[in-house]
Structure formats: C-alpha cells, structure tokens
Structure 1
Amino acid sequence: MAPTLWLPLSAVFIGPNIAGLLSLVGLDCIFNIGATLFLLMADTCARSKGTSSPTRSQVPFLYKLWNLGASLLGFFVPLVILFSSQRGYLQPHLSFISFAVLLGPYLLLLSIQVLTEMLSWHWKSSVWLVTPIVYEAYRILQLMRGLNLGIEVGAPEWALVSIRLLVSWWMWVLSIQLIREAWFAGVNYENRLKQTQV
C-alpha cells in the first residue's frame, strides 16, 4: 500500500484523458491488492490455533445497515452531481472524462469496499470490523487527491465544493467507525473474559 501514499501525482497523472484515468486506477489497484492481503492475513491470524475454521463473528444488523447506508450515500451523491452536470443544471459544465478522473477511482474502490464487506459478513469473518476503516481512510486520501487534480483539470468551483463535502462526510463516517470499533472490541473482550472464567 505504501507507494500509493507517497508517490507524487506528477509521476503518475498524465492529464485529463484515458491514460491519466488509467494511471490513477492503477495506483488504487496497488492499494487494493495491499488491503486485500492485509485483510486475508488478519483473517488468518484470527483463526483458532489448530483449526482451519475462522472465529465466527456475528455482525449486528444495525452495523450492516449503517455501513450500507453510508456507502450508498457516498456512491449516489457523485452520480447525482454527474447527472446534474450533464443535464446542464450545474454550470460551468464538467466534462465526463474530468469527472471520471476526479471521482472515477473513488467510485470504483467504494464498490470494491462494499463487495468486500458483504463477503466478510457472509463468511462471518472477524475482519468485518476493520474492513471499512482500511478503505475509508484511503478514501479520504483519494478525495484529497481529487481536490489537487481538480485544479489541474480546471474543474469548476461547484465540483471542488462537492469533493470537499464528500471529504467531510467520510471524515465523519470514519470517526464514527473508529468509535464503534473500540466499542465492539471492548464488548468482545468482555465476552471472552466471561467465557474463560466459566
């Protein structure tokens, strides 16, 4: 995951065209490979010693509902912005390729996160708790990168304001996730202590 954090954009981004978009998607693919390996290692470490089955972890319904709601809102808001721009409701017009450069990798990685979370819920893997944090922390970096690229591609002010609002949204969601992770970890620790005392 490390190259995606400190590799200068000027070394990757070619311009608001297909090659520039593919270079950004490639950069995020490096992150996704690292995140997947991390989650697989975390799942392996959570398995009980001497057994091949992971520690079964039940995901609360409200947690699933919150995560899906936050992700869907973060997914549909950029699509509404794109639709509004294409229909001429937002001026000046933002071209599709500029939109794809600014928010395309964000939407792609958000889709991958939702899929990863749903699979961890289905398999009752213990990594369901850390999966959103791994992706959401990087999502904020993606959106900050989009703000920097917005200046390079000449994005209108409304597009930059929209990205800033998305950054604020994901900062808020990430802070709630961190609080919930601490709470769930504490509850699980108390349950294990009770089981060992019995």
Structure 2
Amino acid sequence: MNTGMASLTQVRYKVQTSTFRRVHPRNQGLLKSGKLFQHPGSTFPSIHINLSCICCTKLTPWESSSVTFAPTDNQSDKYLPESANIFETLESSKTADSSTANAEGVIETRSQPGQELQFFKWPLWLLGPSVLLATGMVPTLWLPISSIFLGPNIASLLSLIGLDCLFNLGATLFLLMADACSRPKYPTDECKSKAPFSYQFWNVVATLTGFIIPLLLMIGSQKGFLQPQLTFIPFAVLLGPYLLLLSVQFLTEMLTWYWQSPVWLVTPVIYESYRVLQLMRGLKLGVELSAPAWMMHTIRGLVCWWVLILGLQLMRVAWFAGLTAQARKQRLSSDTSSANGD
C-alpha cells in the first residue's frame, strides 16, 4: 500500500543557484506557470515543482468520520424557518417563546391573587352595613338629646357636630368597603365607572339649593327682613351641622367622580338618608329653643326637599341596574351569535 501511494505522488525537485536582488512581477501569469524569476547579479535557489494529482480515499488519523456537515435525506428539509435574514428567524423564535412564557406567567398571577382577594371580600358585605348602622343610626335613635343638648351655646353645637362627624367616619369606611367589593375578581382588570354629566349636573343643583336657601334665610333674619329675628348661636345649633355635613357630602361626591369609583351612585343615598334624620332632630331642638315659625317651616321644607331628592336617587339606582342588565344581555347575545357564526 505504501509503495502504491508513493507511486501516485511524484515530486521532483531541481535546485539552481541564482543571484536575487529584487523582483517586481508585472505579469501574474508567471506565478501561475511556475517559471523561474531570474535576474542578473542575484542568486536565489530556484525550485521547479512538478505536481501530479493525488487520489486517496483513506482518511488521515486526525479526521473524524462522525462529523457530518451536510443534512441527510432523513433529516428535515428546513433546518430553520424561511426568512430573509437568519438573525430575524432566531429573534422571532425567541420572541414567540418569551411571549408564551409571559402569557403563562400572567395566567398564573391572575388566577392566584384573585381568589385570595375574593376570600377577604366576603366579610366586607356584612361589616360595611354594620359600621354604617353603628355610627349613624344607633347614636341618633338611642342617645337621648338631653344628654347632648345643653342649651343654645357652643358646647351643644360642638356636641352635635361630633355626633355627625362620627356618622361621617362610618360612612367613609362603608364607601371604602363598598368600593373594594365592587372591584373585579382579578386585580389586573381595570374597573372605572364614570358618572354621566347630567347626573353630576343635577346633583350639584340639588346640593347648592339645599345649601343656599338656609344661608339666605339667615341673612334675611340678620337684616331684619324676617321677624322675629334669630341670633347666630341658635341658628348654628339648628342648621350648622346640617350645612357642614352637606359640604362633606359634596366633597365626597366630587372625589368619587374624579376617581371614577363605582360607589358614586350610592354616595348621595347614604348622606341624604342621614340628612332626613338630622333635620328631624333639628325640629325637636327647634321646639326646645322656641324657634320662630319661619325657621320651623324652613326645616320642614328642607325635610321635604331631601326626601324628594332621595326618591330621585333611588330611581336612578333602579335605572342604572336596568341599564346594566340590558348591556349584559346584549353582550351575551353578541357572544352567542359570534360563537354560532364561527
């Protein structure tokens, strides 16, 4: 075998001595032809190499037979998806994998915290109305007025304001609990409920009407247009807490409209229900203070006004419930029709 391989390769070397100074080949064909570069006065060994074709099928020891550089017929025709750029193909596959992983992560995060928050919401359905009852109705109905009202003085005014502030604290806690219960099951879902402009407009008109009328009557009494006159302290005892709580209600409604909280519909119902009891308390205090007839008629007129506004608010609640049911029915019908069309 070795003699056969040696016979296949025949290399003949012929060495000559020549003098070499500097060679500037102008014709690249000389390099291809293998001719000798000779220049007078330069000596350089010239080499004539005769190469013959070598045909060998035996692999050398350092070449591995297990390495395959070309795909076989059994392999897939497409190693990577077709694309104008291989980097785009790799990037798209990486993006698809990352989007799948992100979708799975979102599903896991949405399924776990929602159930935990839903579990904590159940006690709020009973705790919220209990807080509202304890801070609003119980002190007004069971606490005797004689223990609070000591006469037309500053102490009685502060006692009545403190009683109404206690209710305002309970109403705020109730609204926060109602807002938490009205939120969707999953925290990632947005829940924004915007009150209609007409609703906001008429609520502002009702609030300003209930606020301006007592102030005009007080100014008329101070100017002497209404007889007999009523001094400031008795007037503040009768209608001071009413005006203060009305201002708090207006501020609370503005905040619910700005935050687009779902409790914007029940906020006036809570405050107006308590306002009727507040004005009824004012009628009792007016009898003890021997208030003038025009003042008693004013308080009765305010009671009738807020009962009327409360009725309108309850009708709006029924209207909103009907509108929500209609929208839900339309959504279900559209989903059913799209499912049948598919």
TM range (shorter): over 0.9
Tell me, in whole angstroms, the C-alpha distance in 2 between the residues paired with 1:196 and 1:47: 21
TM-score by length of structure 2 reads 0.56
Which of the pair has more CA radius of gyration? 2
124, 128, 140: which is aligned to 1:5?
Answer: 140
Task: Tell me the CA shift for residue 54 of structure 1.
Answer: 5.9
Are 1:126 and 2:262 an aligned pair?
yes
Matched, 1:188 2:328: no
Which among 290, 294, 297 is matched to residue 161 of structure 1?
Answer: 297
Equivalent residues of 1:146, 1:163 under 8 A apart: yes
Q: Distance in 1 between matches of 2:144 and 2:188?
A: 42
Alignment of structure 1 residues 18-167 onto 2, 5 Å = 18-51=154-187, 55-167=191-303
- Tell me if the contact between 1:54 and 1:126 (Cα under 8 Å) persists in the aligned partners: no
Supply the AA of the counterpart residue of 1:16: P
Distance in 2, matches of 1:103 and 1:28, equals: 12
Contact 1:43–1:54 under 8 Å retained in 2 = no
Q: Secondary structure at the match of 1:110?
A: helix
Residues 147 and 160, structure 1, Cα contact 8 Å, conserved in 2:
yes
Aligned residue for 2:229, secondary structure, equals coil
What amino acid is the match of 2:303?
V
CA contact (8 A) 1:75 1:107 kept: yes
- 2:15 corresponds in structure 1 to none
Q: How far, CA to CA, are the matches of 1:115 and 1:53 in structure 2? A: 27
How many Å apart are 1:120 and its aligned residue?
0.3
Q: Which moved more, 1:149-158 or 1:108-117?
A: 149-158
Report the alpha carbon displacement of residue 3 of structure 1 after superposing the two structures with TM.
3.0
Structure 2 unaligned spans of 5+: 1-134, 336-342
Q: Distance in 1 between matches of 2:157 and 2:304?
A: 24
From the superposition, tell whether residues 53 and 26 of structure 1 become closer, same or farther in structure 2 (CA, over 3 Å): farther
Instruction: Note the aligned Cα RMSD (angstroms).
Output: 1.3
The residue type equivalent to 1:167 in the other structure is V
Which structure is higher in helix share?
A: 1
Question: Quick check: 1:15 aligned with 2:151?
Answer: yes
Deviation track 1:77-128 (CA, whole Å, cap 9, x = no partner) reads 0000000000010010101000000000000000000000010000000000
> Distance in 2 between the 1:158 and 1:59 partners?
37
Contact 1:102-1:146 within 8 A present in 2 as well = yes
Large movers: runs of 4+ above 4 Å = none
Structure 1: unaligned runs, 5 residues or longer: none
Residue 185 of structure 1, CA deviation: 1.7
Residue 191 of structure 1 aligns with an amino acid whose one-letter code is: A
More moved, 187-196 vs 38-47: 187-196
What is the identity, as a one-letter code, of the residue corresponding to 1:61?
F
Mapped to 2, the partners of 1:117 and 1:156 lie a distance apart of: 34
Aligned residue type for 1:178? L
Could you report, residue by residue, the CA deviation over 1:137-159 in whole angstroms, capped at 9, with x for unpaired residues? 11111111111000111211110
d(CA) in 1 for partners of 2:160, 2:244: 11
The 3-state SS of whatever aligns with 2:191 is coil
Name the CA distance, whole Å, in 1 between partners of 2:280 and 2:236. Answer: 15
C-alpha spacing 1:3/1:158, structure 2 compared with 1 (3 Å)? same
Aligned residue pairs, count: 198
